[in-house]
Amino acid sequence: MSLLSVKNVSVSIKGHTLVDDISFELEIGQVMSIIGPNGAGKSTLLSAIAADLNYSGTIRLHGFSEKTVERARQLAVLPQLSLLNFPFRVHEVVGLARIPHATGKQRDADIVQEALKLMDISFLADRLYTELSGGEKQRVQLARVFAQIWAQQEDSNINSRLLLLDEPTAALDLGHQQLLMKTIRKQAAKGLTVIMVLHDLNLAARYSDRILALLCSQQMAFGSALDVITTHNINRLFDVNANIVPHPDDGLPIVTGI
As a whole number, mean pLDDT of residues 220-247 equals 95
79 found inside a domain: no
- How large is the greatest C-alpha to C-alpha distance in the chain, in angstroms? 55
Using an 8 Å Cβ cutoff, are 207 and 181 in contact? yes
Residue 239 lies in a domain: yes
Is 20 domain-assigned?
yes
Running DSSP on this structure, what letter comes out for residue 77?
A: E
Number of domains in the chain: 1
Specify the CATH number for the domain of residue 217. Answer: 3.40.50.300
Sign of CA dihedral 224, 230, 6, 46: positive
pLDDT tens, 114-148? 999 999 999 999 999 999 999 999 999 999 999 99
Domain-located, residue 198: yes
Q: Using pLDDT thresholds of 50, 70 and 90, give the confidence band for residue 258.
A: low
Q: What crossing angle do the helices spanning 134-148 and 105-118 adopt, rounded to 10°?
A: 130
Residue 48 lies in a domain: yes
31, pLDDT greater than 80? yes
**Average pLDDT of the segment spanning 157-186:** 94
Q: In this prediction, what percent of the chain has a pLDDT beyond 90? A: 85
Burial of 223 (0-12, 13-18, 19+ CB in 10 A): middle
Which position has the higher pLDDT, 80 or 1? 80
Residue 34 counted as domain residue: yes
How far, in Å, CA of 53 to CA of 50, rounded?
8
Distance, CA of 121 to CA of 216 (rounded, Å): 38
Q: What is the pLDDT of residue 257?
A: 72
What's the burial of 189, exposed, middle or buried (CB within 10 Å: 0-12/13-18/19+)? exposed
Which class for 232: exposed (0-12), middle (13-18), buried (19 or more C-beta within 10 A)? exposed
The pLDDT of residue 236 is 95
Q: Are 61 and 48 in contact (CB under 8 A)?
A: no
What's the rounded Cα separation, in Å, for the pair 124 and 68? 31
In-domain check, residue 93: no
The boundaries of the domain holding residue 46 are 1-64+193-258
